[in-house]
Amino acid sequence: MYMRHLKDRLRSLLESVGFGNVRVTREAWPPYLVCYVRSGPGDADDKPRMADMVYLRIRTAQGEFGLMDAAGDLPMLDLQGTGVLAGDLFSELPDLPENLPFCPCLFEPRQLLRLWQRLTAQQSPARH
């Protein structure tokens, strides 16, 4: 039940900042969610072209975050030189369970930056 809620939350969060054709799937083992976001026009069932995407992994229990290219190498510590940790993008998601080892997502870098800007704009001054 919680996994369905998290999938819906991820999908609505991505769609609210302008992502199109969002599809969230669950893999059984290890338990994680994959967000497929197309970079261009096409059928919603099509997976995005890997060359257009980056791979965002969030280790919830350890608090470790990593942003990589589609090949899984060349780790980038921040988002396009902004100093923003990629994992901070999902700080707005409620109570990620400890038994969810990581949450890989595929995005375009500039869309990832737009998502971060949208999330930080929604934060109240009391949280800073």
- Walking along the chain (128 residues) 10 residues at a time, the average pLDDT comes out as 63 63 51 44 45 40 37 37 46 46 48 60 46
Listed by start position, the domains of the chain span 54-119
Beta-bridge partner residues of 105: 35, 56
Under DSSP, the state recorded for 65 is E
Instruction: Outline where DSSP puts E strands in 11-127.
Output: 22-27, 32-37, 54-59, 64-69, 105-107
Beta-bridge partner residues of 36: 23
Q: What is the pTM of this model?
A: 0.38
Under DSSP, the state recorded for 47 is P
Ramachandran bin of 53, using left for φ above 0, alpha for ψ from -120 to 50, beta for the remaining angles: beta
CA distances from 108 to 29, 42, 81 (A): 26, 16, 15
Tell me what pLDDT residue 12 has: 73
Residue 97, Cβ density class (10 Å: 0-12 exposed, 13-18 middle, ≥19 buried): exposed
Tell me what pLDDT residue 17 has: 58
- 90 touches 58 (CB < 8 A): yes
